[in-house]
Amino acid sequence: MTWQIQIPFADRTESLVDVAAHARTLETDESRATVRQLVLDARLEGDRTAGDLLDRLAAMEPVERRQMLDIARVECGLEPTAEVDARERSTAATIGMAPGSGNPLLHSCSAAKCREIPRTEAGAWREVNVRRWWCEQHRHLAGEDDMRPVPLPWKLSPSGSLIPNDEADEASEAARVESRRAELAARDDESRAIAAEMADTERAMAERARRETPAGVPSP
């Protein structure tokens, strides 16, 4: 999976409170919760505007940005990116993908040293849903069930991760997803409350600075 930090903003000069509000435009609950947490962390680090946060991200090395993303994810109750990547690699290694294809429906002949593949009429690699595929020359070596269709042992979760395709677990998986959605929604509410508190604090600081600044001196 390719990871990136999405910072939704309309203008570099807008406040981090506005950036947190823009998080609602992101596609997934995880993305929205992660961005709001990144914004809160950035404010604690002294950033005030979208530009401050963007400039700090631009000055980081890739590994530093990855660490920053992981910290925000963990604070949101999500898995670190390395754990997600490791699980997907493990799943991909057990679902029967042809070597290097990245697709469980792309097979090559199961006979030793045979490099024949199923092809379309145009000669392209053709997808076939079988347990093991054998070319015409070696079809006689096939086991009784080799060429029969088989349900794929994986499916995509709502977040896009590969997970075991166990129909018996669908009800519990749906319950788990709903529970996770409710948890993230609660975190969204908490993030909005914190963002509102940040806005109140910003206004109080500005008002205090205005009162304490002598007449005729521009306020900071």
pLDDT tens figures, 34-59: 888 998 888 888 888 999 999 999 99
Measured CA angle at 40 (ends 35, 42), to 5 deg: 90
> How many CB atoms lie under 10 A from the CB of residue 23?
23
Contact call for residues 50 and 16 (beta carbons, < 8 A): yes
Question: Using one digit for the tens of pLDDT, what is the confidence trace for 162-211?
Answer: 666 665 455 556 666 677 777 777 777 776 777 777 777 777 777 777 77
pLDDT of residue 59: 92
What is the mean pLDDT of the segment spanning 61-66?
A: 90
- What φ, ψ does residue 119 adopt, rounded to 5°? -125, 155
Torsion of CA 109, 111, 112, 113, to 10 degrees: -40
Average pLDDT of 31-36? 88
| Contact between 220 and 213 (Cβ < 8 Å) | yes
The tokens for 31 are: 């993305």
User: pLDDT tier at 154 (50, 70, 90 boundaries)?
Assistant: low
> For 90-140, what is each residue's pLDDT tens digit?
654 444 444 445 566 778 888 888 888 888 877 778 888 888 889 999 999
Write down the pLDDT at residue 52.
92
Question: Considering only CA atoms, which of 7, 10, 58, 15 is closest in space to residue 35?
Answer: 7
* Mean pLDDT, rounded, for 50-72: 91
**CA 209/CA 81 separation, integer angstroms:** 42
Q: What is the pLDDT of residue 168?
A: 46
